[in-house]
Amino acid sequence: GQQLNQSPQSMFIQEGEDVSMNCTSSSIFNTWLWYKQDPGEGPVLLIALYKAGELTSNGRLTAQFGITRKDSFLNISASIPSDVGIYFCAGSSSGGSYIPTFGRGTSLIVHP
Amino acid sequence: NAGVTQTPKFQVLKTGQSMTLQCAQDMNHNSMYWYRQDPGMGLRLIYYSASEGTTDKGEVPNGYNVSRLNKREFSLRLESAAPSQTSVYFCASTITPSGRYGYTFGSGTRLTVV
């Protein structure tokens, strides 16, 4: 089955620093999704990507759909304490079994 | 507010007891999913329902059953709870089975089996 490798597993950074994380897949995806999960809550969709090479921003967050269609990247600029949480990538391919594949998450801690 | 509603939010069960986790969405979504989340394991799919009237196994279905009661509701049942089923359970829904437009998650049910 499809596998997603998400890295890094965790990050401890200072407020104001930039953050980068990525996901790589063993299969080609048609859609990449990035989610954030606040402590004690369910994941919330941040950014959706639909085309290879696509670069999309949501405030201080920027995500890219890799040109090989097997990877995706999420960057957070000038981190703030409320960025704390777990970030998940997810991918899906329309020709598959419709089961979404999620990465294991990147846990982000921001020190004031 | 529109979204996915899960009940209960917290539950403690004794080994061998049964219970049903409830999930309802009011967004007219076609597809619904049950996940469990364990530390360091991410989100693992238990069962899903691509459309009303259909259900299929996910990655970790053993020990669980589901019912797609109607388009809005998708319940998860533990027939004989085991400590290994201690986890946080999330229900999610999406408009199309491909998931192209993203999934909306509930706030979770925190289950402890003692």
Q: What is the pLDDT of residues A6-49, one digit of tens each?
A: 999 999 999 999 999 999 998 898 899 999 999 999 999 999 99
What's residue A97's pLDDT?
59
Q: From chain B, which residues contact A within 8 Å (Cβ)?
A: 4, 31, 33, 40-43, 45, 48, 50, 58, 90, 92, 97-108
AA identity, residue A10: S
Which one-letter DSSP state was computed for residue B41?
A: T
Residue with tokens 């509603």: B5
3-class secondary-structure state, position A81: helix
Residue with tokens 């080609």: A28
Confidence of residue A101 (pLDDT cuts 50, 70, 90): confident
Burial degree of B55 (CB within 10 A; 0-12, 13-18, 19+): middle
Q: Greater confidence, A92 or B110?
A: B110
For A104, the closest of B42, B48, B92 (CB atoms) is B42
Could you tell me the two tokens for A55? 């670069």
Tell me the average pLDDT across B45-66. Answer: 95
On chain B, the residues whose CB falls within 8 A of the CB of A32 are none
Q: Is B85's pLDDT higher than 80?
A: yes
Chain B: nearest CA to A20, how far in angstroms?
A: 19
| Residue A65 CA to its chain's centroid (Å) | 10
Rounded CA gap, A1 and A91, in Å? 13
Chain A: nearest CA to B21, how far in angstroms?
A: 16
| Portion of chain A with pLDDT greater than 90, in percent | 79
3-class secondary-structure state, position B34: strand
